[in-house]
Structure 1
Amino acid sequence: MDSGRAQEIIDAITMINVKYHGFPVYLKEINEENNTAVVFPLDEMDHEQEVDLMGLFEDGP
């Protein structure tokens, strides 16, 4: 996923489904310097992690 689309998802009013290597995650913030995002799994909201943007995919239509 490119950083522009990731930021659009963060700024969206409605929830947009995103997966990181098949696992549903919530995008919290983007770090454009190193092409990463801070995310947390939807089933473990206290488990934040920094992941590569290229592992993120929008899920749905």
Structure 2
Amino acid sequence: MNIQRAKEISQSPDMKDVVCNGQRVYIQHVDEQNETARIYPLEQPEQEQEVNVDSLTEH
């Protein structure tokens, strides 16, 4: 996924189907400078993590 699309998804009021490492995730924030995103698995919101935006895919 590219940075611009990740930002659009993070700012959208609609839930999008985003996957990281086989898990559906929610994008909280996108850091454009570092090209990373703060995410968490939908079923485990306490497991926040920072990943490279290019590891995210939209289905």
Q: CA RMSD in A?
A: 0.8
CA offset at residue 14 of structure 1?
1.1
Distance 1:36 1:6 in 2: 9
Name the SS of the counterpart of 1:8 in structure 2.
helix
Question: What is the letter of the counterpart of residue 18 of structure 1?
Answer: V
Unaligned runs of 5+ in 1: none
1:3-55 Cα shifts (integer Å, max 9, x gaps): 10001111112111100022100000001111110000111101110001111
List structure 1 runs of 4+ shifted beyond 2 angstroms: none
Q: Are residue 49 (structure 1) and residue 49 (structure 2) matched?
A: yes
Correspondence for 1:22: 22
Unaligned runs of 5+ in 2: none
Question: What is the letter of the counterpart of residue 41 of structure 2?
Answer: P
Distance 1:10 1:32 in 2: 12
Question: What is the letter of the counterpart of residue 38 of structure 2?
Answer: V
